[in-house]
Chain A
Amino acid sequence: MDLLNGPWRRELARLPWGMVLIICAIAGFGLVVLYSAAGGSLNPWALKQGVRFAILLMGALALALVPPERWLGWAWPIYITLLVALVGVELAGAVRGGSQRWLDIGIMQFQPSEMMKLAIVLVLARYYQYVPKGYESRPDVLIPALALIAMPVGLVMLQPDLGTALSILFGGVVVLFLAGVRLWLFGTAAAAVAAMLPVAWSMLHDYQRKRVLIFLDPESDPRGAGYHITQSKIAIGSGGLSGKGFLNGTQSHLDYLPELHTDFAFATMAEEWGLMGGMFVIILYGLVLAWGIRTAVSARSQFQRLLSLGLTATLFFYLAINMMMVMGLAPVVGIPLPLISWGGSAMMTVMILLGVVMGIARANKRGS
């Protein structure tokens, strides 16, 4: 294999080390937040998360050494495998009763919907790589592409997992957008979605409807489901400009803030570090996203461009939805904050995502 025989030193040197540093900074800050969330203790979260990050970072760097064109060849097998796995999850759930999101494959639990967030970008990038310029919006091209999006989204909705389904949908639509599908089509689709909202509403589960309603008016149920949003806003707001200080958060330490180490980790952070801490996270992530866009713009093939920017947009979706949720701008959908929230599978998805984008950056590094 050329990877084994390849010029190691040169390829390693071409990795975007500045970005690796920024990622480490974000994750490191995340560990600080988890340390505080545990009441000033490495256990149960910070230490484990740190080890996990270290391992996954190695994995991401290894992925970054994979030549991007390899992904072109693996796109279809990966997508189809995950689609089959999603059907498998459905069947397993039907057999056991109740909703199921992961498959037990012996050594670990494998959550195909999580990987599908990346695979949808990969397969569409592969698909549009071979669509000639000007053909992107033709029905015979667009309809298969939409089907590629609709199948996993539909399967994930059945689980039901609205957050992940929206995430997959977003990734797919962004690739269509970047591939050059005509803008008026997006406008029409948006209008159609707006028209379909009442139908969609009737299809939502009760708890999902409740979440939406409470998002619209969190104070209507301050002790019940609106509690999350209300307490999160209190945590962020009471942090003020510079926060209450490390380990001094009251909302988090006195348990008023629910899910303080997972979905609401940003609020936990903001309470102790204030607006400055929030800006720190937002700016660092802004740098990561800007780097992702630059990587895409300077990539040498349409596939690489679509893949790197589609993945970057997926990362953006995570960030935006989570932060909007904790600030009371979006309903509670259960999407963690990448690299900061506690949780293995979400972190794995993000590190794979970053690994692939770093690989593209490496491959297109100028002066090679």
Chain B
Amino acid sequence: MDDPVRRMAFSRRALLLGAGMAGTGALLAGRMAWLAVFEGETYQLRAQANRIQDRLIPPRRGWIVDRQGKPIAMNRPDYRLELRPAEVEDLDTTLVAIRAVLDIDLAEDARIRDDVRTQPSFMPVVVRQNLSWREFSACNVRLATLPGVTPVQSFSRFYPEADHFAHLVGYVGAPTPEQYREQKNPLLIYPGFRIGKDGIERFADKQLRGLAGSSRVEMTARGELVRELGTNADTPGDTLRLTIDRDLQDYAARRLGDNSASVIVMDCITGDVLCMVSMPAYDPNIFSRRVPARLWNALQKDDHTPLLNKSAMGLYPPGSTFKMVTTLAALEAGVDPGDTVGCSGAYRLGNNTWHCHARRGHGGVNMHRALPLSCDTYFYVMGRKVGIDAIATMARRLGLGQEYPLPLPGQAKGIVPDKAWKQRRYGKDWREGETLNGAIGQGYIVTNPLQLAVMTARLASGREVMPRLIAPDDANAPAPQFPSLGIPDAHLALVRQGMVDVVNAGYGTARAARSPIGDVLFAGKTGTAQVRRISAAERKRGVIRNEALPWKQRDHALFVAFAPADAPRYACSVIIEHGIAGGRYAAPIARDVLSFLFEPERALAVLPPIEAEAARLRALRQQNEAAASIASETRAMMPSWLKLDIKPPLFEIADADAPQPPREPE
């Protein structure tokens, strides 16, 4: 039944099929040989690229220390859990898995989802920071294979003195998404990596950052670590030594109590800034983690402006602390110090009357008595005599109206007005009344506390002292030699003696600032700067006492000082916003801060009642108390890369030539 013809036909077809199979087999063998032998090296490299990863080791940030090496900003180990939205497969299941290990409440859950939704997906989102070692180990064991979830052991910045250094040192935060997009540096999105956001942290970021290291590790496709193949250690950032004296800064911050104020202490010879406090401030430890939105709002609304570095960015009329400038300008113009001006308490110009703070007048006042008495009338006369341009020139020589090369963002330049300036700014001619106001530090003129400290240091040393915040690398380096101001010693001596009398003469305005230390005399000058316009109607009724006014309308209290009076070493400026009167309120603070430099124990003894009172006042100002409770909140958070970016406030000048109203005595 088997047909041989059919059999033959089948065999032919079978042969064809067999040939096809053999051909395919040859093709497969050839292809495999091509992959494995000819391209084998390429694929070996790719297999290696698959399994071997270079992992970044973020550098440890350099410390910031004070002039004696005491830490101001340091690093603390921080265990945290982060997730990278770009790598997470399903957020819901991921969060469920995390919840099995960490106790995440609803608010935290909402915050995480919020972050995932609002942040660019390459930015890591913190699930929880400050994990205990137990929690961290649990995360490592049970969550390490979850895609996109990384337990991170990093260092977080720690500021042992918290808010006392906030404005000076700043804080650190996550880099912004824009920074990463521009630089494409993988370090910038490394979980837990922080860069300087404000103050010195921001200015010296390059120096503090260091160099990242790397480690080669073998990884599975799911990101599990198999083993480490070798490491290339990181280079930690440099330690940055400041000229600041940590103890002094601390003391000044505590001494300020609840005031909205700034204290600066400088070394008159080297220019070292020993203390630069602006209070109240924020806690940079919170800012370096994550700022709860409610705390942020509270800080922004606070009328004591805790976000503003008043020392460098605050602008205030210098008031009577400016009178040294007018004195020196008058001396340079050839005024005889013995010339007497009669002060009746009022000075007439045209139809208007400028008042002296002494309502009944000082009688006959010469230059020697003018500063201790702070007689406005004397300076009205001198101002008119030398003119505003001479005063402005002297002010600039003493360092006002300029920015210093300091690592501080947003220094305010202030205004030192003269005729050309007014023409430029307003297109108007200078008016005589404006000169009267300018001569006593009111009107257009505004300065920041740092400039006042530099001015005082220059008066005290006679040299063009420049402030510095970063200590030289070599601790024994010779002090910088500043050129002379070019002001005759006799002129400076007269001004310095005037300032000594302000504090030490029986008729001085700052007897409260008298040195408690036996052999050291302090010298200084008070200032009380008006912040509100006093209407004609008010003037008629008689001026309301400053204490009776709402806080915002009270005068600023200023005091500049140097010590010791006979061989000036330290210069100091104190400004208390709405502090009522320089002599009564600012001067004692300067006294205590300066005496701390000579006898710390004695200065510390005055603190307890001040701190008790400050605590009471703070409690009264509900906002701060609320701030403390919301600092630990986890609900709504500001982005981790939050930057302050506060601009110096615009200063609004009321009537620069308005006559000086009668005032309370200084």
Contacts and interface: CB of A to CB of B under 8 A. Distances in A.
A136 to B, nearest CB: 9
Contact of A178 (B13, B47, B222, B226): B13
B42 interface: yes
A104 interface: no
Interface stretch (B23-31, B497-505, B632-640): B23-31
Interface in A296-335: 296-297, 300-302, 305-306, 309, 313, 316, 320, 323-324, 327, 329
A240 B37 contact: yes
B133 interface: no
Nearest to B9: A180
A282 interface: yes
Contacts of B43: 233-234, 236-238
B36 A278 contact: yes
B17 interface: yes
A251 B218 CA distance: 12
Contacts of B219: 254
Contact of A316 (B7, B21, B37, B226): B21
A327 B24 CA distance: 13
A9 interface: no
Contact of B50 (A236, A250, A323): A250
Nearest to A327: B31
In this complex, the member of A235, A238, A286 whose beta carbon has the largest number of chain B beta carbons within 10 angstroms is: A238
Contact of A237 (B6, B10, B40, B222): B40
B17 A237 contact: no
30 contacts: A133-B9, A174-B17, A180-B6, A234-B43, A236-B35, A236-B43, A237-B44, A237-B46, A254-B218, A254-B219, A256-B47, A256-B50, A270-B36, A275-B36, A279-B32, A282-B25, A286-B22, A286-B25, A289-B21, A293-B18, A293-B21, A301-B1, A301-B2, A302-B10, A313-B21, A323-B28, A327-B32, A327-B35, A329-B28, A329-B31
Contacts of A300: 2
Contacts of A293: 14, 17-18, 21
Given A323-B28, A327-B28, 16 more contacts: A231-B50, A233-B35, A236-B32, A237-B43, A237-B44, A237-B47, A238-B43, A279-B29, A289-B18, A290-B18, A293-B14, A293-B18, A300-B2, A305-B7, A305-B10, A316-B24
B10 A178 contact: yes
A329 B27 CA distance: 10
Contact of B36 (A174, A179, A236): A236
Interface string A140-172: 000000000000000000000000000000000
B14 A297 contact: yes
A254 B14 contact: no
Interface of B: 1-3, 5-7, 9-11, 13-14, 16-18, 21-22, 24-25, 27-29, 31-33, 35-37, 39-40, 42-44, 46-47, 50-51, 218-222, 226
A305 B13 CA distance: 11
A177 interface: yes
Contact of B47 (A250, A255, A324): A250
Contacts of A30: none
Interface string A18-35: 000000000000000000
Contacts of A309: 14, 17
A145 to B, nearest CB: 15
A256 B51 contact: yes
B284 to A, nearest CB: 41
A324 B11 CA distance: 27
Contacts of A68: none
A327 to B, nearest CB: 5
A274 interface: yes
Contacts of B2: 300-302
Contacts of B16: 177
Contacts of B1: 301
A346 interface: no
B220 A254 contact: yes
A213 interface: no
B394 to A, nearest CB: 70
Nearest to B36: A275
A133 B50 contact: no
Interface in A183-241: 231, 233-241
A231 to B, nearest CB: 8
B35 A255 contact: no
Interface in A98-148: 133
A329 B30 CA distance: 12
B50 A240 contact: no
Nearest to B13: A178
Nearest to A231: B50
A163 B207 CA distance: 62
Contacts of A239: 36, 40
B221 A255 contact: yes
Contacts of B42: 237
Nearest to A178: B13
A251 B47 contact: yes
B356 to A, nearest CB: 81
Contact of A240 (B18, B25, B40, B220): B40
A282 B27 CA distance: 11
A255 B221 CA distance: 5
Contacts of A316: 21, 24
Nearest to B45: A238
Contacts of B40: 237-241
In this complex, the member of B6, B11, B51 whose beta carbon has the largest number of chain A beta carbons within 10 angstroms is: B6
A268 to B, nearest CB: 13
B51 A254 contact: yes
A314 B520 CA distance: 108
A243 B11 CA distance: 40
Given A237-B43, A251-B47, A301-B1, A275 B14 contact: no
A46 B229 CA distance: 32
B36 A240 contact: yes
A270 B32 contact: yes
Contact of A177 (B11, B13, B25, B31): B13
Contact of A250 (B18, B28, B31, B51): B51
B37 A238 contact: no
B222 to A, nearest CB: 6
Contacts of A282: 25, 28-29, 32
A177 B13 CA distance: 7
A227 to B, nearest CB: 9
Nearest to B32: A278
A234 B50 contact: yes
Closest A-B pairs by Cβ, 10 of them:
A237-B43, A238-B47, A255-B221, A237-B35, A254-B220, A275-B36, A240-B40, A238-B43, A238-B44, A256-B221
In this complex, the member of B7, B50, B51, B219 whose beta carbon has the largest number of chain A beta carbons within 10 angstroms is: B50
Contacts of B33: 275
Given A238-B40, A240-B37, A300-B2, A320 B50 contact: no
A315 to B, nearest CB: 10
Contacts of A179: 10
Nearest to B220: A254
Nearest to A131: B6
A236 B34 CA distance: 10
Contacts of A324: 28, 31
Nearest to A257: B221
Interface string A38-80: 0000000000000000000000000000000000000000000
A177 B17 contact: yes
Contact of A275 (B5, B17, B37, B46): B37
Contacts of A251: 47, 50-51
Contacts of A306: 10
A281 B140 CA distance: 42
In this complex, the member of B22, B47, B218 whose beta carbon has the largest number of chain A beta carbons within 10 angstroms is: B47
A180 B13 contact: yes
Nearest to A306: B10
Contacts of A235: 47
A278 B27 CA distance: 13
In this complex, the member of B28, B50, B219, B220 whose beta carbon has the largest number of chain A beta carbons within 10 angstroms is: B28
